[in-house]
Amino acid sequence: MIPDEFNAVTAAKPLCVFVHGWGMNQAIWRPVIDSLPPWIESLAFDLPGHGTAAGREFSDLDDLVDALSSHVDRPAIWIGWSMGGLAVLKLATDYPAKVQAMMLVSSSPCFVRREDWPQGMPSGLFDDFSAELEADYDGTLRRFLSLQVKDSAQGRQLLKQLRQQVLQQPPANIHALRAGLEVLKNTDLRAQVPLLTMPLAVALGERDGLVNADSAELFNRHLPAADIQVYAQAAHAPFLSHLPVFTAQLLQLVNHVHDTKN
């Protein structure tokens, strides 16, 4: 079923769809959506098991992609943050007609380090999160929020903002958090990157402790026309710490798609 927010969308306007990350919810995107001009329609919703959808569950990345697809019935510009970026990248290969363009934010096609992928994180990090989640649910989520802004130039202020935005919504259910950690640990979409045909923007944080900015090399190699920006002094949430610059990059993508269509 298409939500009421979508029914009001005018087909002539560009539609930006925002997808949050692990343990977060749609409220995280409010500053970005509020900064966009009125000629852009915006849609943000909660992934299964998160926020207002905390009563739902998912098992794997395909379930997340199906959830994204069910919310939108026309081509859109998708913005995916962290785990949400994985879902958007998979959406682009499974439902390309629904993806005019996409923006991957602090995301990687492969989050875990592999023999041929030193840009990933040690898999033990996700094992540690899983163990901590079982022992201390609330504490693990709060520590994860802290990781979003660790080493950012405005870390303390951003952490307060994150907590205010995320914690105002119902907390993610533990089943979804477990499934999300498995998605992050086991997904490898690197082979999908050369197959992308739609415009792409990538926003990475120079000081991100969760996604190495060197992962941009994969996009540079296969998609030289992509707009890849590494934000100086930004951690895992550049759309909060560098809102004006982030909005400008997103608008450049929207204008590119809109001008191409017209």
- CA nearest 78: which of 14, 5, 9, 10? 14
What residues are annotated to the active site? 82, 208, 236
Cα distances (Å, whole numbers) of residue 20 to 17, 196, 241: 10, 21, 16
Structure tokens at 97: 């007609």
- CA nearest 105: which of 259, 242, 224, 258? 242
- CA nearest 96: which of 22, 2, 200? 200
Q: Are 210 and 23 in contact (CB under 8 A)?
A: no
Cα separation, 17 vs 72, in Å, equals 9
Integer Rg of the chain from CA: 17
8-state DSSP, 202 = E
8-state DSSP, 242 = T
Residues 6+ apart with CB under 8 A from 168: 27
Adjacency order of strands within the sheet including 41-44: 41-44, 15-19, 76-81, 99-105, 200-205, 227-231
